[in-house]
Structure 1
Amino acid sequence: MIYSISDLHLDYTGNKTMELFGENWDNYENRIFQNWKEVVKDNDIVLIAGDISWAMTINEAYNDLIRIENLPGKKVLIKGNHDYWWSSLKKINDLNLNNMFFLQNNSYDFNGISIVGTRGWEDCNEDSDEFNVFKRELLRLEMSIKTAKTCNKKIAMLHYPPFDKKGIPNDFHSILKKYNIEICIYGHLHGPGLSNIIEGTVDGIKYFCTSSDYLNFIPKLIY
């Protein structure tokens, strides 16, 4: 089984809060861990599409990552916009977390399925100061896809939705379509932003939003 839940927003210090996005975030960490243990088995995969920990450094993040490590299943993770601790892939891999795989210009193969992805970025035009970031993330998505075995079914992970604010598919969607991606998950949206969720099949790609509050903090079965 392949499950997904994103935007865990863990903080082992207890100093950060997500309650500004609504009362449904009350006690969210305990709810995530309890639901995870009830749903996920050791031989399952869980895709975590960014915003993993509020930590600022990799050493601080280790305290949250080890909590994820100790949960059932193999975890595949991508960077979110709040994952400031995510530096180089080498530094992350040097943590020697056995049940976690970090996607960055690479892919993960599981039973004939290739997991690909990148953070993505909010849709913007060429006049924007952030357009270079947008373009760089497009390149990283394509690079990740190209590392996958071409004969495999492919599931893509993005943190940002591959749609603009009007719900129109953007350039990330175009790349997913170009490489015949069958399933794509994304997160990032919370509170009022949940009204912008696009799910279902678009151009043959099945989309899931897996923001933890949208899922009521229960990992979602996607495959």
Structure 2
Amino acid sequence: MALYAISDLHLASTGEKPMDIFGEKWSNHDEKIKENWIRVVKDEDTVLVAGDISWSMNMENGKADLEFINNLPGRKIFVRGNHDYWWTGITKLNSMFQRMEFIQNNFFVYEDYAICGSRGWILKNNPKFNSHNKKIYDRELIRLRFSIDAAIKSGFKKIICMIHYPPIFPNMQENEFLEMFKEYKVDKVIYGHLHGGGLLNIFEGEKDGVEYILTSCDYIDFTPIKILD
């Protein structure tokens, strides 16, 4: 039973948002995801999906994209991305599928690891950061702490976090997300959101004992990457 990760599937079953407008690499990307996923993931494996799952604006359309993922091998665990407007109440989401689980203030278990997370948000050093962004930023911090605290209270010592927005860049400037990962001695952080020119700003590797792994679809060639055997 291996653990895999991927993010930024950007599915659009309705055809409203063809991804090839972002370059030839994205042409028929849903078929690439399906083919590669089936090739590497077994049904007994678990796949972490770090946000930007579907372009749909509501659950009526988004359900088709969730069904697409549900029909792929493995158990799946999700956090929300900035484009996941279809994301409804967490209780409803977690009642929809038997092997698809959604994180918001809660956590799930993979062997002896707790899988925690939140959407995250743009960081305070971003020029676009304003009072509106601060409210969302603070809320995501609270959700992340609720998620990790729930795991700690249940006795878990090994923690993997998913966060859609990158919590770290090559300058490794400190922020509250990094401080929280360090505080709780998180083992690994899975993140996404970066594409195209944004991939010039990636950080992968270890900082303060925490391993950071980027899983944006176009960065990992639309193939879930193995996190743990």
Band of TM-score, shorter chain: over 0.9
Helix, strand or coil for the counterpart of 2:87? Answer: coil
Q: Displacement, 1:91?
A: 2.6
Helix, strand or coil for the counterpart of 1:147? Answer: helix
- Aligned equivalent of 1:87: 88
Q: Displacement, 1:79?
A: 0.4
- Aligned equivalent of 1:100: 100
Q: Displacement, 1:155?
A: 0.4
Note closer, same or farther for the CA distance 1:201–1:129 as it changes in structure 2 (3 Å cut): same
- For the residues of structure 2 that align with 1:198 and 1:106, how far apart are their CA atoms? 27
- Aligned equivalent of 1:29: 30
Aligned amino acid, residue 111 of structure 1: E
**Residues 1-223 of structure 1 aligned to structure 2 (within 5 Å):** 1-94=2-95, 96-124=96-124, 128-148=131-151, 149-163=154-168, 166-223=171-228
- For the residues of structure 2 that align with 1:106 and 1:129, how far apart are their CA atoms? 25
Alignment coverage as a number of residue pairs: 222
| Residue deviations 1:114-163 (CA, integer Å, cap 9, x gap) | 10000000002685431111111111100000111333311000000112
8 Å CA contact 1:21, 1:190 repeated in 2: no
Note closer, same or farther for the CA distance 1:175–1:14 as it changes in structure 2 (3 Å cut): same
- For the residues of structure 2 that align with 1:164 and 1:129, how far apart are their CA atoms? 22
Note closer, same or farther for the CA distance 1:28–1:151 as it changes in structure 2 (3 Å cut): same
8 Å CA contact 1:69, 1:98 repeated in 2: no
Aligned amino acid, residue 189 of structure 2: C
Q: Displacement, 1:214?
A: 0.3
Normalising by structure 2, we get a TM-score of: 0.92
Note closer, same or farther for the CA distance 1:127–1:13 as it changes in structure 2 (3 Å cut): closer
- For the residues of structure 2 that align with 1:21 and 1:171, how far apart are their CA atoms? 32
Helix, strand or coil for the counterpart of 2:76? Answer: strand
Q: Displacement, 1:13?
A: 1.5
Aligned amino acid, residue 14 of structure 1: G
8 Å CA contact 2:169, 2:202 repeated in 1: no
* 57-66 or 146-155, larger mean C-alpha shift: 146-155
8 Å CA contact 1:123, 1:164 repeated in 2: no
- For the residues of structure 2 that align with 1:136 and 1:165, how far apart are their CA atoms? 25
- For the residues of structure 2 that align with 1:164 and 1:34, how far apart are their CA atoms? 31
When the two chains are superposed, the root-mean-square deviation of aligned CA atoms in Å is 1.5
8 Å CA contact 2:170, 2:202 repeated in 1: no
Structure 1: runs of 5 or more not aligned: none
- For the residues of structure 2 that align with 1:144 and 1:37, how far apart are their CA atoms? 30
- For the residues of structure 1 that align with 2:75 and 2:60, how far apart are their CA atoms? 22
